[in-house]
Chains A and B, each alone.
Chain A
Amino acid sequence: MKNKQEEFGRIYDHYVDKIYRFVYVKVNSREVAEDLTSDSFLRCWQVYKNDQNGINNIQAFLYQIARNLVTDHYRIKGRTQTISTDDHVVSDPRHNIEETTKNKSDIDQVRIVLAGLNNKDYQDAVILRYVEDLSVSEIAEITGKTEENVRVLLHRALKSVKDKIEKC
Chain B
Amino acid sequence: MQEKDLIFNLKGLKQIKPRKEWAVLAKQRIFEADYKKTAKAGAPLLGRLSAILDVFPRFLSSPAYKYALATFMFVVLIASSVVLYAQNALPGDTLFSLKKVSEKTRMFLAAKSKVSGYQLENANTRLTELTQIAETKQDKKLAPAIKEFQASAREAALNINNSIKKGDVLDKNVVAQAEKLVEAKDKVKAMGISLGDTDDIDNALSNIVQAGIKDLEASTLTDDQKIELDNAKKDYENKDYSSALEKILMLTQQ
B-contacting residues of A (Cβ < 8 Å)? 5, 8-9, 12-13, 16-17, 20-21, 24-25, 30, 33-34, 37-38, 41-42, 45, 49, 88, 90-92, 103, 106-107, 109-111, 114, 126-127, 130-131, 158, 161-162, 165-166
**Contacting pair A37 B16 (CB below 8 A):** no
Residue of B whose beta carbon sits closest to that of A17: B17
**Contacting pair A21 B1 (CB below 8 A):** no
A-contacting residues of B (Cβ < 8 Å)? 1, 3, 5-7, 9-19, 22-23, 26-27, 29-31, 33-34
**Contacting pair B18 A42 (CB below 8 A):** no
**Contacting pair A90 B16 (CB below 8 A):** yes
Q: 26 A-B pairs, CB-CB below 8 angstroms?
A: A5-B31, A12-B30, A16-B18, A16-B23, A16-B27, A20-B17, A21-B14, A25-B16, A34-B19, A38-B26, A42-B30, A45-B31, A88-B15, A88-B16, A103-B9, A106-B5, A107-B9, A109-B9, A110-B6, A110-B9, A110-B10, A131-B10, A131-B13, A131-B14, A158-B6, A165-B1
**Contacting pair B26 A162 (CB below 8 A):** no
**Contacting pair B12 A107 (CB below 8 A):** yes
Given A13-B27, A41-B26, A41-B30, 7 other A-B residues pairs in contact with their CB atoms under 8 A: A16-B27, A20-B17, A34-B19, A37-B26, A103-B9, A110-B13, A162-B3
**Contacting pair B16 A162 (CB below 8 A):** no
The majority secondary structure among interface residues of chain A is helix
Give chain B nearest CB distance to A1 CB in angstroms. 9
Bound together, the chains give a CA A128 to CA B12 distance in angstroms of 13
Q: Which of A8, A30, A131 contacts B11 (CB 8 A)?
A: A131
Which residues of A are found within 8 Å of B1, using beta-carbon distances? 106, 162, 165-166
**Contacting pair A49 B7 (CB below 8 A):** no
Residue of B whose beta carbon sits closest to that of A43: B30
Bound together, the chains give a CA A154 to CA B88 distance in angstroms of 78
Which residues of B are found within 8 Å of A9, using beta-carbon distances? 27
Give chain B nearest CB distance to A22 CB in angstroms. 10
Bound together, the chains give a CA A45 to CA B30 distance in angstroms of 8
Give chain B nearest CB distance to A46 CB in angstroms. 8
Bound together, the chains give a CA A92 to CA B11 distance in angstroms of 10
Known: A103-B9, A110-B6, A162-B3. A38 touches B16 (CB 8 A): no
**Contacting pair A126 B10 (CB below 8 A):** yes
**Contacting pair B13 A38 (CB below 8 A):** no
Known: A21-B13, A88-B15, A131-B14. A45 touches B34 (CB 8 A): yes
Bound together, the chains give a CA A131 to CA B8 distance in angstroms of 9
Which residues of A are found within 8 Å of B12, using beta-carbon distances? 90, 92, 103, 106-107, 110
Which residues of B are found within 8 Å of A109, using beta-carbon distances? 9
Which residues of A are found within 8 Å of B29, using beta-carbon distances? 38, 42
In the A-B complex, the 3 residue pairs with the smallest Cβ-Cβ separation, listed nearest first, are A130-B10, A107-B12, A38-B26
Bound together, the chains give a CA A130 to CA B11 distance in angstroms of 6
Bound together, the chains give a CA A107 to CA B7 distance in angstroms of 10
